[in-house]
Amino acid sequence: MRTITEHATNPANDRLVIEVIDEPGSGGANHKYMVSGYRGESGHDSVLIEFQNGPINEVGVNGLTHEVLLAIVIDRLRAFQDGPYACEENSFALLLAEQSLHWMQLRTAKRMQRGVEGTHAV
């Protein structure tokens, strides 16, 4: 198990623990992350984040995608920018998150055009 600490910048983030709980897959990335150290409204103190593991055409949809998490972050940052917490830092974070989502979607579109989306083909 490996622990990620890049997020630790304030008392809230310092308490949150991110653990990688699986071995890297065929593409070199991990698929399961456990975040703990908080008390949510549901009474749970951790959440398992599972990413898609394997080609959708072969294994079906079995996890989240990068695009899903980026869309959530974008939604929250837009709301902050429309509310009382608008600031330059949130504006830049929103811009970069939107750009990240754009590039991930462009990658998918190109893979679809080549007929390799949902497979291990490069």
Residue 18's nearest CA partner among 9, 102, 110, 32 is: 32
Strand 17-20 and strand 2-4: the pairing is antiparallel
Across the range 106-116, mean pLDDT stands at 93
Distance of alpha carbon 40 from alpha carbon 37, whole angstroms:
10
pTM reported for the whole predicted model: 0.89
Phi-psi region of 47 (alpha: psi -120 to 50; beta: other; left: phi over 0): beta
pLDDT of residue 22: 97
Task: Determine the 3-state secondary structure of 113 from DSSP.
Answer: helix
57 pLDDT above the threshold of 90: no
- Which two three-digit tokens encode residue 35? 């975040």
Q: Contact 36/7 with Cβ under 8 angstroms? A: no
71 pLDDT above the threshold of 90: yes
Across the range 24-49, mean pLDDT stands at 92
Residue 38's nearest CA partner among 64, 61, 18 is: 18
60 pLDDT above the threshold of 90: yes
Band the pLDDT of 100: cuts 50, 70, 90: very high
Across the range 32-42, mean pLDDT stands at 92
pLDDT of residue 103: 98
The residue among 118 and 16 whose pLDDT is bigger is 16
Distance of alpha carbon 9 from alpha carbon 4, whole angstroms:
13
